[in-house]
Structure 1
């Protein structure tokens, strides 16, 4: 994993360099835009870099790559593609916080809350809340635009014959994330849970398209395409990436209910307060009967829920056996990913890294 630590450092260097260039390039627009650039820089500092790592893993699954200096042309292309996905991920999180009306991200005020605070601090006219929302949406749009710009740079470096496939995966990822986010928003408009089978189908589709595929499968495929992967190799990586991504998001669902605020940077039980109909919540509701289910329905999504009620709802979900079932689902998906990582289409140098990565996705605590 030392090589991937080096990758994270190189990606951060590219992020810092790109933003420094933009700051200079956009100087004629005036000092007013500095707040947007500062917010972008702060949001892109640090993070787990899972998607960047996936790009490198996807390439390495097809052929070896080194991030030692001097960097090869392929390494430059992979680093730029990985940087592009970090910009895209940042944009998705900024927009997601607006959609979910979240107050915090990584233990700090969400971007829209930060700009809302700026408006109040400066005592500007109009609505501070509306200004915060507008600024955050524009920052998200800006980050998406920059993601595309950086991906163009990555594909310009890569040999012409392989760029088409990488671009197709990138475009598909962007489309699926937007539609997955819409499915999530739509889910919140329904009056309540559907019958169990219908609800599980809807919750699983949100999980898959809003997060699982774009977090693991599509970044892997972009990296593999940059290495000139065969269609068979891409299919194997998809069969690895989807269960690994599902395990990743199921763990996220668990953390959204039981996570430690000090570690996750998000309020404990936030998914319960927001009324997210996740796979975990859907399974828990199905297991509860009579007054216990009615209590769950009354409390789930209550923005006025106090800490004692939240603790009781968390305990109810745990006691129902839903958490145990989701943990088994996570383990099952990791096992599927392990099996595909050992496939004949995967380069031997990448097998252990892919197996370790699936484990890391499934056991994270933030």
Structure 2
């Protein structure tokens, strides 16, 4: 236990703080929801330990023997022919008490994208895609504490330019004896870009992120909720607008550019770290589950100045049995519409 705590303390201390998080790293497709469950719960859901294998692709400490011989498949329907899919399989090894998983996340941006030169002349078409092959394992100790790790081989192909990298996820999860609440600490995408895109001078950083999440199930109601705090390794996640008259900073009073005081800016920055979600379980066996999520950071980043939208809000449902699960999630990114995601989780072994 002390070794695990020391590891995560070192990860926290060794990570430098920086402002804003968008556009500073490569392989951003790793942050897309990998399942309908995650999509419906605000894009992040790291503290619930049950038999949903898709959650373990994000947090390997959630791997457990209930995921033995289960397969999970998910597909996200993006506009303009863009797709985001994931596939996973879990296996519990009885001798070592370790649950293993193997998974693939794939994002395709289309195969008929038009290539043009600097004068706008049509030079034909090209394709672009990213994928990450994941293997991982997790082990539970004393039915309360569990640890896990994922190893990812990442590849990106963009118009003939290729890159590949290696990354790992490290996680620890604690669940109380009553199984009513759990807490997870997760370090995602620790690694480096090994092969640079052709012509690139420097290696680009990966979308590293340190998260902590708490999941709580109410004792007398079939409802559970989660609170996830993102970017534990950095404080300022506000966007610095280069066109603003005064540089955006959590330490300045921005009344000339935004009409907000320092207190409002501080609270906005704090709220951007949080993702909130909930799940209502209906039926005697809790087969039908209604889900919703709110991501304040996503809402603020994708808001429009003159129009209100549902950006940052998500919802979905799942129908679950012991043998299979069918899930749907919808995330709103813009006033123009949202992304639909479907997923299925099936038990492939004997029950």
Q: Tell me the TM-score normalised to structure 1 length.
A: 0.30
Q: Of Structure 1 and Structure 2, which has the larger fraction of its residues in strand?
A: 2
Q: Tell me the TM-score normalised to structure 2 length.
A: 0.31
